[in-house]
Amino acid sequence: MQIQLVRSILDIPAEAWDKLLQSDHIFLRHSFLQGLEQTGCVHAEIGWQPLHLTVTDTQGALIAAMPMYLKFNSFGEFVFDWSWAEAYQQQGLNYYPKLVSAVPFTPAQGPRILFHPETDENQLVATISQFLQEWCSRQKV
C-alpha cells in the first residue's frame, strides 16, 4: 500500500477517483474538482493549494482518496475560524497553513474519505490518520 499527496486532481485518473464514489455526491466528482482547478478557483495564490491524498494497493490501483487542500487563509470556507487565527497570532503562533479535507466554496455534506467498496475502511482510516499526523508534524501544519 502506498499513500501519496498529489498537487493536482489532474494527476489522478478520473475513472479511478469516481469509482470510489459510493453515492452521488456531485461535488466530489473528479470533473467538479478538476473544474475548480482549471478555472483558477483553487490555487495557492488564493489560499487553496490542492493536496489530495491517494492510497493505492500493491498493484497500483486506487483504493482510497481524500479531497484535501493546504490553506493559507480561511476564505471560501463555511467554518468561520477567523477568531481562532487571530488568537493564534496574538500568542505568536501560526494558524496557517492548515490542511483541510473539504470541497471548496460549498457547504455540501458528504464523505471526505472515499473508499473502494472492497477495502477494509477501519484499517485504511487508521493508516491514513497516522500518515497525516506524521506529515503534518514534519511540515508544521
81 pLDDT above the threshold of 80: no
pLDDT, residue 31, reads 97
Count of domains for the chain: 1
pLDDT tier at 110, thresholds 50, 70, 90: confident
Q: Which domain holds residue 112?
A: 2-139
4 or 86, higher pLDDT: 4
Number of residues in the chain: 141
Alpha-carbon torsion angle 51, 60, 28, 82, nearest 10? -20
Amino acid at 26: I
Q: Mean pLDDT in the chain?
A: 91
pLDDT, residue 6, reads 98
| Per-residue H/E/C for 30-95 | HHHHHHHHHCCCCCHHHCEEECEEEEECCCCCEEEEECEEEECCCCCCCCCCHHHHHHHHHCCCCC
3-state secondary structure of 131: helix
Express each pLDDT in 38-64 by its tens digit: 999 999 888 899 999 999 999 999 999
Instruction: Please state, for a pLDDT cut of 90, what percent of the chain lies above it.
Output: 64
pTM of structure: 0.89
Between the CA of residue 105 and those of 15, 32, 85, 121, 140, what are the distances in Å? 24, 12, 19, 27, 25
pLDDT tier at 127, thresholds 50, 70, 90: very high
pLDDT, residue 122, reads 94
Between the CA of residue 127 and those of 2, 5, 121, 122, what are the distances in Å? 10, 14, 10, 9
pLDDT tier at 129, thresholds 50, 70, 90: very high
First to last CA, the chain: 24
